Every structure is written in structure tokens, then in C-alpha cells.
């Protein structure tokens, strides 16, 4: 037991590593604050274009979604960060991570939102248009609010996955939470900073998990 505490729950090492880990935690929060809204906006665009009548718009978007949903996000991130410089495109680590996450998460948000939009009866759009609303206003004021409500648990669940996915940014040396904890571990030769990082992830995500559970139970009722 003493060996377990010494190597994984060493409070002295956690205390010394805390400033570094908190700096990484701040970078993770910044990354989430950028990636989630950008990914959601891209997903909304994907959902709207995927439902277009024109095949010239619809089929390329379907191909885009299928491709980036099948492409591993870690491989995509490494390609953007380490591969694009060979084509003369050298992005900073934060921009590379944001682009990779946008390409990946917009597809998943898009499919969720598309399902939500398709769950709304066509009569809703016709009724909204009959009141004098344009198609754009009918979509934004009538269809989308109902669609988002219908798929809200799925949207929150996907957002949880996006937050957890930010940990792969450590492979391109972006100093987010996991990278900072790993740096502290390499200096201390102790796993306690990793446990500290895990605790911060839990602190960040557990309230959202409970909110998701409550929403699912409420919708089921």
C-alpha cells in the first residue's frame, strides 16, 4: 500500500506539479472553448447542406462526412501538423489541433443535427411558411429549436467525447492538460501528476455527465 501511495498519490509531488498541471488545464479549457462552438457551427452547416435538394450540394457533403468520420482523429491531427508542412503549410500546434477537431467533430455534430431536423414533421415548415416567414427564418426560429431539443442528449454526449478527445493534442506538443501532466511526470519520475490530471478531467466532466443522465431520464419519462 505504501508503494501504491508513494508512486500514484504522492501529495508532495502533486503539490509541486500543480502549477504546471493547472496551466495545462487552462489550455484544455481554451481548446474546448474554441473547438466545441466551431465544431457545432460546422455541424450545423453540414446538417443543412446534407438536407439540400440539390445533389451538387448534397453528395459532396455526404462524402465529406463519410470520409472524416472514418478517418482516425489522431492520424488526421498528425497529418495536419506533420504532413502539411511538406506542402508548404506549416500551422502552429493550436491551429492544427483546431482544424483537425473541426473536420472530425463537425461531421458528428452534423449527423446528430440532421437526425434532429429530420425528426420534425414537414408540416412544421409548411405551417411556418404559411405565416409569412422565409425558409431561413422558419428553419432558425421554428425547426432548429425543436430539432436541438429532440437530440440534446446526443449533442451533450458528443460534446463530452470532444472534451475527452482534446487529450490527443499532447502528441503535437500542445501544452494542454495531459501534456503538462506528462512533463511533470517525466521530471518527478512519479505517476502522481497523471492522477492529478485525471482528477481535473473528472472535475470538468462529471457535472456534465450528471446533467446528461438527468436529461435522458427526463426525456424517457
Q: 127-149, pLDDT tens digit by residue?
A: 878 887 888 888 888 888 888 88
pTM over 0.85: yes
First to last CA, the chain: 46
The CATH class that applies to domain 2-220 reads: mainly alpha
Those residues with Cβ within 8 angstroms of residue 89's Cβ, 6 or more apart along the chain or in another chain: none
pLDDT computed for residue 108 by the predictor:
94
Mean pLDDT across the chain, nearest whole number?
Answer: 88
Which residue ranges make up each domain of the chain? 2-220
State pLDDT tens for residues 20-41: 999 999 999 999 999 999 999 9
Amino acid at each position: 500500500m505504501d508503494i501504491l501511495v508513494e508512486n500514484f498519490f504522492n501529495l508532495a509531488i502533486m503539490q509541486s506539479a500543480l502549477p504546471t498541471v493547472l496551466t495545462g488545464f487552462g489550455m484544455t479549457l481554451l481548446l474546448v472553448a474554441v473547438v466545441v462552438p466551431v465544431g457545432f457551427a460546422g455541424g450545423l452547416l453540414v446538417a443543412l447542406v446534407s438536407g439540400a435538394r440539390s445533389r451538387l450540394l448534397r453528395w459532396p457533403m455526404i462524402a465529406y462526412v463519410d470520409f472524416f468520420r472514418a478517418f482516425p482523429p489522431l492520424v488526421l491531427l498528425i497529418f495536419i501538423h506533420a504532413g502539411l508542412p511538406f506542402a508548404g503549410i506549416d500551422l502552429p500546434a493550436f491551429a492544427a489541433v483546431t482544424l483537425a477537431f473541426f473536420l472530425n467533430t463537425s461531421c458528428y455534430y452534423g449527423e446528430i443535427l440532421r437526425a434532429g431536423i429530420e425528426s420534425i414533421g414537414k408540416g412544421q415548415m409548411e405551417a411556418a411558411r404559411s405565416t409569412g416567414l422565409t425558409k431561413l427564418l422558419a428553419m432558425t426560429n421554428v425547426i432548429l429549436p425543436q430539432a436541438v431539443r429532440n437530440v440534446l442528449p446526443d449533442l451533450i454526449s458528443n460534446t463530452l467525447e470532444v472534451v475527452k478527445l482534446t487529450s490527443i493534442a499532447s502528441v503535437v506538443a500542445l501544452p494542454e492538460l495531459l501534456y503538462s501532466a506528462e512533463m511533470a511526470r517525466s521530471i518527478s519520475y512519479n505517476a502522481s501528476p497523471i492522477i492529478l490530471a485525471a482528477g481535473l478531467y473528472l472535475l470538468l466532466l462529471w457535472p456534465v455527465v450528471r446533467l446528461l443522465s438527468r436529461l435522458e431520464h427526463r426525456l424517457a419519462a
